[in-house]
Structure 1
Amino acid sequence: MVFTSKYCPYCRAFEKVVERLMGELNGTVEFEVVDVDEKRELAEKYEVLMLPTLVLADGDEVLGGFMGFADYKTAREAILEQISAFLKPDYKN
């Protein structure tokens, strides 16, 4: 999940990064963009303290994530590193 707000300029920029990642990681990672102003209870559940925040979860189990803006390369590397235990080893390239 990607927690954002329509009032956050970094969130708008990060959503473009997420769109690119959605195309590349389709089938491996599913992204849901969550506006914290509309789903405050979900943001509280995942203890979102900063925007944007990316939470990697498998069901209710949090696998990882990060807070703050990240460029495409940094975000991709962080996501793949954190979920590598759940991926086939040859996908990491």
Structure 2
Amino acid sequence: MNFPVIVKDTLGAGSIGVEVMNSYEEVESFLNSNRNNSDIMVEELIQGEQFGTEIHGVEGRYSVLPPIAFSVTKEGITDPLSSVKFGPE
């Protein structure tokens, strides 16, 4: 795995609580801190345009929307509290 990486809660919503870390020491410090209070996932950060989709519906009747592009923060991750979504034209 290459740095930078993102560290996030496995039960989070979108990218809420995601942290970008640039070294093994940063990740190790996080894992040994009080901030690590749940199951976490570590993923290599892939730079570039961020895409996602949304699923709407009720049990047995779901619709998957076309892919959408998300705006990103200066760290290169999406921020669900201030994200701008761009749909297909």
TM-score by length of 2: 0.28
Kindly indicate whether structure 1 or structure 2 has the higher relative contact order, using CA contacts under 8 Å at least 6 residues apart. Answer: 1
From the two aligned structures, give the one with the greater strand fraction: 2
From the two aligned structures, give the one with the greater helix fraction: 1
